[in-house]
Amino acid sequence: MEPLLSLQHLKKYYATQKAVDDISFDIEKGSIFGLLGPNGAGKTTLLRMITGIFYPDEGQILLDGKTFNPSEDISKIGYMPEERGLYKKMKIGEQALYLAQLKGLSKAEATEKIVYWFKKLEMESWWNKKVEDLSKGMSQKLQFVITVLHEPKLIILDEPFSGLDPLNANLIKDEIYGLAKKGSTIIFSTHRMEQVEEICDHIVLVNLGKKILDGTVADIKQMYKENIFAIETPQMEGITDNSIFSVVRKEGNKVLVKINEGHNSNQVLTHLIQGNHSIVAYNELLPSLNDIFIKLVESTHATARAFQNI
């Protein structure tokens, strides 16, 4: 399938550092894409280039196969920044209307869509309230509605679930799935790996301005698997290191083993059956994205880069 968004060799250098240093990747239409990275990795700069706030120093961005033109394509993008922003003293209805009109909707269209979304997310009673009267979670919901109101092809959500209770988080999550199903492409930027595993089809991990990981969640887990298997059995004592595998640790009624180089999982099973162990369950343990993230980022001392100078 043709990608909706294609970044090609993007570079953005500030006076003292390379915020984005030659990053390329494609995002497929209708996919939910995770952009991961530690603080200060260059995610925000990357997102600001995709939203047309910054221009790249080098490289190019293709949207729908054509060179990205901020002043025209901006209406095809919905961006929800990490730090939420709304006018505190402005009435919610007027505010949503204003921001939707800035995205290029006519007043009538905008009103119709706001009414639709407010009804859908049970926010009808908010119209004449002010943002300062809303709780953090409520304003989060409002921000989400404002982001997706103009039906953008590309929706960029920076930490969309922070501050939401599980109920509202699920509500938003369902909406995200719904939007993706309808053909919107979603870029999802977060530090919360369990959410990424759950939601994203495809991820890219950036660190120190460079891309260090790119692929589907399943592929990446396969790539970083360590051949560790969990064996659930009532006779744990009998399982010890041998030529086929070594025991990593024991957890409850499970034994975690690491298969030695040159052997495969069936050989483990054969070995156990021959040893007359009764096996209740046997499965491979894939690393969590969290583990992969920590493993890849920890060695680079990325935290020192959190201070940006321009």
Q: Is 128 in the site for another protein (CB under 8 A)?
A: no
Q: Which amino acid is at 84?
A: R
Distance of CA 252 to the CA centre of its chain: 33
Q: Is 51 in the site for another protein (CB under 8 A)?
A: yes
- CB of 101 or CB of 227, closer to another protein: 101
Distances (CA, A) of 75 to 111, 145, 228, 263: 17, 15, 48, 55
Cα distance between residue 73 and residue 66, in whole Å: 10
Kindly tell me the sign of the dihedral angle through the C-alpha atoms of 293, 40, 85, 179: negative
Each residue 191-220 as x (binds another protein by CB under 8 A) or -, in order, gives ------------------------------
Q: Is 74 in the site for another protein (CB under 8 A)?
A: yes
Taking CB under 8 A as the binding criterion, the range among 45-53, 232-240, 269-277, 279-287 that sits at the site for another protein is 45-53
Q: How many CB atoms lie within 10 A of CB 72?
A: 12
Q: Is 83 in the site for another protein (CB under 8 A)?
A: yes
Residues 140-169 contacting another protein, CB under 8 A: 143, 146
Taking CB under 8 A as the binding criterion, the range among 2-10, 51-59, 199-207, 289-297 that sits at the site for another protein is 51-59
What's the min distance (Å) between Cβ of 2 and another protein? 25
Residues 87-106 contacting another protein, CB under 8 A: 87-90, 98-99, 101-103
Is residue 244 within 8 A of residue 74, CB to CB? The reply is no
Q: Is 5 in the site for another protein (CB under 8 A)?
A: no
What's the min distance (Å) between Cβ of 102 and another protein? 4
Cα distance between residue 183 and residue 148, in whole Å: 13
Cα distance between residue 7 and residue 53, in whole Å: 15
What's the residue count for the chain?
A: 310
Who's near 142: CB < 8 A, 6+ residues apart? 86, 92, 96, 123, 126, 131, 134
Q: Is 85 in the site for another protein (CB under 8 A)?
A: yes
Binding site for another protein (CB under 8 A): 48, 51-55, 71, 74-75, 77, 79-81, 83-90, 98-99, 101-103, 143, 146, 309-310
